[in-house]
Structure 1
Amino acid sequence: MSPTSATWIAADWGTTHLRVWAMSSSGTVLAQATSDDGMGRLTRDGFAPALDRLTADWPRVPVIACGMVGSRQGWVEAAYAAVPCPPLADDLTAAGDRTHIIPGLKQTAPADVMRGEETQVAGFLALNPGWDGVICLPGTHTKWAHVSAGEVVSFQTAMTGDLFAAITGHTVLRHSTAAGWDDAGFLLGVDEALSHPERLATRLFSLRAEGLLNALPDATARARLSGLLIGAELAATRAYWLGQQIAVIGAGTLAGLYVAALGAQAAPATQVNADRATLAGLTAAHRRWKDRP
């Protein structure tokens, strides 16, 4: 299919990448493109040229964007909507001559914010009308959102991905967790952390000691480290997911780890394709923008 018949463009504009889809009026994807012109490498006057470069061969049509493009360091700051509220705010924030940015969500107590994930939540709800429960969105900063009656009631962020990267890259455990994976080791780490989350700091150093004294393989140490951190996150968010319907939005290995960890706690979760949820959310936002008074 040719992008020349596109009537609008969907954009997922994060910190490291810009992804765009040329969309038909019926919501069909006609073409897609990606660049590394994420928010983190652009100055405020660089966003419009970055978008124009990536879509140069497409019609110059309206753009609906989500993600860090609407942050304080982004193109234009899109003010947060306060929960409890629907994941999509009533108004989009204009940027440039054709782009409209979806606002993120905020929570005042305990303080928390999200940008981009609200669009995936909206997309999931569009694909699953009437669904109530908890949505987990794994990533560098994993979000847990409690959804009821079409609204995000509350949410919580865990910096588990950041912690894993920092520990494996900048602590003594970098010598013991270089590569590889061990599924059994991961589940053991999850169980250890859930059983005794207060022991997390001491269990981390034990991975190094076991490597030195008992030849613990790097693959097992790496998987147990991940399990310990995700297990500690599950312990901290237990009030969210326990006894709830759970959906995990994400592609690939990381989302699968959360599904496995939850399943081991007799908390079955459904894994949902992240791109499909994002596109469904952007499409819902475009529909509301197009039909505005």
Structure 2
Amino acid sequence: KKPASIRQVVFDGIISSTCHGIPNIFKSTRLALQLLWVACSLLSAAGCCFLIFQNISKYLKFEVTTKIRVKNEYTTLFPAVTICNINFFTSETSAQFLSFCPEILDPSAQNWYDFQIEYRNCLVQQGLMNHSYKSMYGDAREKLIYAQWFNDETLNLDEFVYYFHSEYGNCYTFNSGFSQNGSRVPIKKAYRSKRSDGLILNLNFEIHEGLKEFIADVGGVIFVHNQTSSPYSVNGILVGTKFTTNIGLKRTFARSEPKPYSKCDGSTEKPESHKSELYKLITLHQE
């Protein structure tokens, strides 16, 4: 008996294949049926490849079953609170230095809305907005914070640390964890959410008489943030004059497990944890 050729062996294997689409391509005598089986075979192969890729991709994500628990704290760290006057220029010095910028005093050229921006630009051009001068234009701590209590106890003004905000100028932060000279101080805690057990402030947002004809809005802005973040990380809360404003916030912390359960790095406290020189400098500065 003459041995079968390789072509015949391959053909017999295709015909007897359990993949029904491919044998039917060769068995069909009509072109339309052959095209139909070709399309079905290609779609089946594409679907199979897609499912294989999807499962491999899902496996490489290292997805895990998680359990979320809500933990209510009855004693928690009180957040940092930064208080600013809504106006950058409020002091007597600001009124006196108007003489250096006569162009913004011209009624025909006065843009009331942009007064503070124009005044600041003018002082920058005059060289009067450097580190030596910029704290002179806003509120002093004793003027802005008239009276202060926390947990029914009178606070010392030294507990409000100076902070310069690029938009609002002189600001003061309570409970930042640092004193004015940069040394660490204990962070205050909150025990109850009652109004009398929080931070109570009497604030003075008045501006100097010489500025009132140029500034229409009077008020303040308060930033409530974590000690590890700056006031720029949150939206400020506007407060008006001659009103009592109550501010109550709910704070939620979320933590993730390190890789491979999430994209978070496990150890971030030590400078040598990463090769980045910038990361090392930031970590050393925080220490």
TM-score, scaled relative to structure 1 = 0.22
Higher-strand-fraction structure: 1
Higher-helix-fraction structure: 1
Tell which structure's C-alpha radius of gyration is larger. 2
TM-score, scaled relative to structure 2 = 0.23
Query: Comparing both chains, which one has the higher relative contact order based on Cα–Cα distances under 8 Å and sequence gaps of 6 or more?
Result: 2
